[in-house]
Each structure stands twice: as structure tokens, then as C-alpha cells.
């Protein structure tokens, strides 16, 4: 009898705990390990890579679905500040290491920056120097407050209906993310056009959609537009897939085949930018994707049911606009003969790629000085820094001291009061102190400023907000290459 009572009591207590658990998990034993697809609402496991119904990767919606931060959290009194490295962004360039005043606090390990929490004092020099915004200074959890366009789950601006944003400009610039977002945004555009009463006439110059930018996101979006049967056009301010030339090599590997609209599976196994550009060229040639290069978009204005996309003297009319531009904005150019050569760069991350080369850096700001210093640290690389001014007027003191030391050590040749007149395949023509000089050269890095993309977005009405994003920190098992 006592045994029966004990058994009944055990069952009753167990039932109570089970009921409480079900209540917490929403009435289903597996609900705590599931989540709805941000796009179609299908129930997915928390680690699902794809939605079986709409074929969308749920991770692509992490940023657009994140809550807007109205007030940033303040550090607790006495809380120690420290650096956190975003493993999904870090390219292992090493720019952060020499600027840290605490020896050993940040190092490059397996091509990823790592922070020693015991040595880090939270000075913030590493975050300021990082060329890809991959380091955050915080006193709390591994989260980062990022400024991004305010977008709906289908990547449409919440302040400018009909205007969509995807890829790096939307805050997620890795190739796999960019390709996925370009496709998803174009699918959202196709859906929005189905209920649009205005049809237009392509013979009158009215497109269904204009894509701005021919990077991975723009190409993927254009291919999806072809698949959807839309009247589309891709506008690129530079050359084909111009932004790819700025990608560091280790970010070009794909951990898995990537599904590209119309073309099929894409799998890059060679860690060079040239191989990825060759792949894009093959995709474009096989599909007939239409890209209009050397066409810079200067303004986007909505007039009634259509957008007016102005590019110099030309104006394109379209029902929808998809912005797939880079986050670094439009670089200012020198405007000299030869600037179209592929050895001319406007951004540089992977310094080691220029080992043993003869490099010219143009500019007088911190970015130019830091580029010159980074290149000068590569074995066998000779560096010349050209600036039209007679002295540096807007360089941080620490950078000024470092460039002076590099010049004194013979690691950098500094040519103040000089201007580039022409760029040739193996030389650069410089005017210095009233005379022309032929400088043997393998590459030119132009760092003279430019127009950041966010002011452009704000001018056309796109609202910029702050969101809190979890940081993926480096782990010992993390591979050095990813897409």
C-alpha cells in the first residue's frame, strides 16, 4: 500500500513539472528548440539552415528582424572596457596589432584577431584602426550596436516604399549573405509588383526594377529578376563586380555550394579574387545578365508610382529600386589618365598580397598613412606616400609619429607637395617640386576620401536606425576561410 502511494505521488509530481515545462515552451515539447521562419512562418528547428517551404535561409533575416535600439545601454560604474572581435567580419589583416598600446593584448592567431582579456585595457585604438569595422569596445556581453537601414523582412525600406536594400549596404557583407539577400530581396520585389496597378511600358523607359551595384548581391538579384521575368537593369559605377576586387582572399572560400538564381550551384575552391571574378564572368556570359557599367547613380527620387534614377545626364524610370552598393561608399578619384588600370585600388585590406611590390599610396589623411604603414611592413615592399599638401593637417598624432619613424627608417618615401599626373602599366608620372618624375610602380592605392553611402541613403529618404547584433567571437575550431 505504501509503495502504491509513493508511486502515485511520484507520478503526480512528475506531471506537475512536465506541465510547467510545457507552459514555458508554449505547449509543445519541442517548441523551445524551434522558431518560425521570418519569411513564411513555417516552424523550423533553431539550427535550420533552410526553410523547406520558402527555401529561405533564416539567418539572412537576423539583422532586418532585430529590434531597433532606442537607447543604448550604459556601462555599469566601474565596469572594465574591453575589445571584442567579430569573427564574421575579421579578415586577419593585422592592422589592429601595432596600434594597441598594450603589448600582447591583441594578436593574429590562425589569420584571425584574438584579444587577451587579461591584457586588454579597452583603449579602443584597435577598433579605430580596423579597416572593416570588425572590432567593438564594450563592457558587457558580446553584442554590437550597428547602424543600418530600417528594413522590413523582405528588405524593403520602411520609410520609402518600393525601395529595397540588400548585401553589404544592409549590414551583412559576406559573399554568401550577399548572394542570399540579393535573391530574397528580388523575390520580395516580384511579390510587391503583383499587386501594383501601375504597369508602365518598357518602350517608354519604365523598368520593373533597377539594381544599383554589381557585387555578389547585385548579380544574384539580377539573376533572380531574370528568373521572375522582370524588366530589369543593373547599374554599376565602376567595372563589373568592382567591389569583388576589394575582398580579402580568405573570404572567398565557400564552405558549401551556394545556389545562384538561374545559374545553379556555385562553389569556389580557389582563394583568389581573380577566380571569383572569373566565376562571375562565366555566370554572366551563360545567362546574358544585363549590366551597365561606368554609370554612377547620383539621386533616386520617387515621383508618383515610379522612381527617377538620375545618373549624370541620363535618367532611368523604374517601378522598384534595389540598392546593392558597398558600405564604404563612392571613393573620390584622381581623374588622371590610366586610373582605369586594374592596379589602381581605392581600398586595401590584405597587405600581404603586395609583398615585394613597388607601391604608391596617394592621400594625406589617416587612411592613407595607415595604408602606407601597413604596406611598408610587408617583406620586400617599397612604399611611396604622395600628398599634394605641404604638411599633414588631419592625421592623428600617433599616426604622424609612426609615419615620421617609417620615413626616418627608410621604409617609406614621403613626397609632400606632389601630384599624380598619369598612371602607366609599370610607372607613375608624378609632379614634385615643379618637375616631373617617373616612379617605377606595381600598384597605386588612392585614399583621398569619398562619399559615404549613408548620407546618400538619408538624402533619398531611407531611415537609418541602430540595432543590437550578437557578435560571433573567434573559437579555436573556427576555420580561417569562409564565405
Q: Give 202-246 pLDDT, tens digit per residue.
A: 556 799 999 999 888 899 999 999 999 999 999 998 776 555 665
The answer to whether residues 293 and 216 belong to one domain is yes
First to last CA, the chain: 66
> How does pLDDT run across 307-321, given as a tens digit for each residue?
999 998 899 999 999
Residue 159, C-alpha cell as written in the block: 520609410
8 and 19 housed in the same domain = yes
Sequence-distant (6+) residues with CB within 8 A of 250 are 91, 92, 111, 271, 350, 480, 481, 482
194 shares its domain with 302: yes
Residues 158 and 241 in one domain: yes
Residue 482 lies in a domain: no
Domains identified in the chain, total number: 3
Of the candidates 11, 33, 60, which is a domain's last residue?
60
458 in the same domain as 442: no
Q: Which of 20-34, 99-113, 114-128 has the lowest mean pLDDT?
A: 20-34
Residue 16's Cβ-count burial label (10 Å; 0-12, 13-18, 19+) is exposed
Domain shared by 33 and 165, yes or no = no
The rounded distance, in Å, linking the Cα atoms of 69 and 66 is: 9
Residue 445 within any structural domain of the chain: yes
Q: Which of 60, 90, 108 is the last residue of a domain?
A: 60
Same domain for 177 and 38: no
Q: How confident is the model at residue 10 (pLDDT cuts 50, 70, 90)?
A: very low
Q: Dump pLDDT digits (tens) for 446-461.
A: 999 877 688 889 999 9
pLDDT in tens, 427-440: 999 999 899 999 99
* Predicted confidence (pLDDT) per residue in 368-377, tens digit: 998 999 999 8
Q: Compute the distance between CA of residue 371 and CA of residue 345 in angstroms, rounded to an integer.
A: 11
Give the span between the Cα atoms of 459 and 118, in whole angstroms: 44
Q: What is the CATH number of the domain that holds 323?
A: 3.50.50.60
Indicate whether 295 and 354 sit together in one domain: no
Pairing relation of β-strands 435-440 and 427-432?
antiparallel
Residue 476 lies inside a defined structural domain of this protein: no
Q: What average pLDDT does the chain have?
A: 80
Whether the CB-CB separation of 84 and 138 falls below 8 Å is answered with yes
Quick check: helix, strand or coil at residue 277? Answer: helix
Mean pLDDT of 179-204: 80
Is position 135 within any domain?
A: no
Between CA 4 and CA 322 the distance in angstroms is: 70
Same domain, 252 and 319: yes
Q: In this structure, are 216 and 158 located in the same domain?
A: yes
**410 and 440 fall within a common domain:** yes
- 396 lies in the same domain as 283: no
Please answer whether residues 185 and 215 qualify as being in contact, where contact means their C-beta atoms are separated by less than 8 angstroms: no
Cα gap 463→148, rounded to integer Å: 9
In this structure, the chain runs to a length of: 483
Percent of the chain with pLDDT over 90: 38
7 lies in which domain range?
A: 2-60
Give the end of a domain, one of 12, 34, 60.
60
Whether the CB-CB separation of 334 and 418 falls below 8 Å is answered with no
Residue 314 contacts residue 201 (beta carbons within 8 Å): no
- Alpha-carbon distance of 345 to 446, in angstroms, equals 6
Amino acid at each position: 500500500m505504501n509503495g502504491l502511494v509513493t508511486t502515485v505521488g511520484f507520478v503526480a509530481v512528475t506531471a506537475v513539472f512536465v506541465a510547467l515545462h510545457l507552459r514555458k515552451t508554449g505547449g509543445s515539447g519541442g517548441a523551445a528548440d524551434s522558431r518560425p521562419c521570418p519569411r513564411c512562418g513555417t516552424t523550423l528547428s533553431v539550427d535550420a539552415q533552410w526553410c523547406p517551404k520558402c527555401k529561405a535561409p533564416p539567418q539572412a533575416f537576423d539583422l532586418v528582424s532585430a529590434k531597433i535600439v532606442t537607447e543604448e545601454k550604459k556601462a555599469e560604474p566601474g565596469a572594465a572596457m574591453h575589445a571584442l572581435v567579430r569573427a564574421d567580419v575579421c579578415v586577419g589583416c593585422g592592422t589592429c596589432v601595432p596600434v594597441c598600446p598594450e603589448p600582447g593584448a591583441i594578436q593574429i592567431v590562425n589569420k584571425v584577431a584574438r584579444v587577451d582579456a587579461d591584457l586588454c585595457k579597452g583603449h579602443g585604438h584597435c577598433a579605430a584602426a580596423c579597416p572593416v569595422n570588425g572590432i567593438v569596445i564594450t563592457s558587457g556581453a558580446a553584442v554590437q550596436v550597428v547602424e543600418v537601414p530600417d528594413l522590413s523582412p523582405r528588405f524593403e525600406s520602411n520609410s520609402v516604399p518600393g525601395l529595397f536594400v540588400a548585401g553589404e549596404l544592409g549590414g551583412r557583407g559576406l559573399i554568401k549573405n550577399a548572394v542570399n539577400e540579393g535573391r530574397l530581396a528580388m523575390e520580395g520585389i516580384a511579390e510587391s509588383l503583383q499587386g501594383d496597378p501601375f504597369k508602365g511600358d518598357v518602350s517608354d523607359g519604365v523598368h520593373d526594377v533597377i539594381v544599383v551595384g554589381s557585387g555578389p548581391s547585385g548579380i544574384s538579384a539580377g539573376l533572380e529578376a531574370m528568373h521572375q521575368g522582370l524588366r530589369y537593369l543593373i547599374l554599376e559605377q565602376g567595372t563589373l563586380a568592382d567591389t569583388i576586387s576589394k575582398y580579402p582572399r580568405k573570404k572567398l572560400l565557400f564552405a558549401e555550394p551556394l545556389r545562384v538564381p538561374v545559374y545553379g550551384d556555385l562553389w569556389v575552391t580557389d582563394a583568389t579574387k581573380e577566380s571569383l571574378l572569373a566565376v562571375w564572368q562565366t555566370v554572366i556570359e551563360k545567362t546574358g545578365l544585363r549590366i551597365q557599367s561606368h554609370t554612377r547613380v547620383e539621386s533616386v527620387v520617387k515621383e508618383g508610382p515610379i522612381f527617377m534614377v538620375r545618373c549624370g545626364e541620363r535618367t532611368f524610370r523604374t517601378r522598384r529600386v534595389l540598392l546593392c552598393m558597398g558600405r564604404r561608399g563612392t571613393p573620390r578619384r584622381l581623374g588622371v589618365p590610366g586610373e582605369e588600370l586594374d592596379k589602381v585600388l581605392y581600398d586595401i585590406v590584405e597587405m600581404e598580397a603586395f609583398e615585394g611590390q613597388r607601391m604608391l599610396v596617394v592621400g594625406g589623411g589617416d587612411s592613407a598613412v595607415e595604408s602606407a604603414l601597413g604596406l611598408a611592413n610587408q617583406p620586400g615592399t617599397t612604399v611611396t606616400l604622395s600628398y599634394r599638401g605641404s604638411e599633414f593637417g588631419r592625421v592623428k598624432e600617433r599616426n604622424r609619429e609612426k609615419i615620421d619613424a617609417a620615413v626616418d627608417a627608410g621604409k617609406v618615401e614621403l613626397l609632400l607637395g606632389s601630384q599624380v599626373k598619369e598612371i602607366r602599366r609599370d610607372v607613375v608620372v608624378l609632379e614634385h617640386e615643379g618637375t616631373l618624375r617617373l616612379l617605377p610602380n606595381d600598384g597605386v592605392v588612392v585614399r583621398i576620401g569619398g562619399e559615404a553611402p549613408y548620407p546618400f541613403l538619408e538624402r533619398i529618404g531611407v531611415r537609418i536606425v541602430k540595432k543590437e547584433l550578437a557578435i560571433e567571437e573567434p573559437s579555436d575550431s573556427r576555420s580561417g576561410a569562409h564565405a
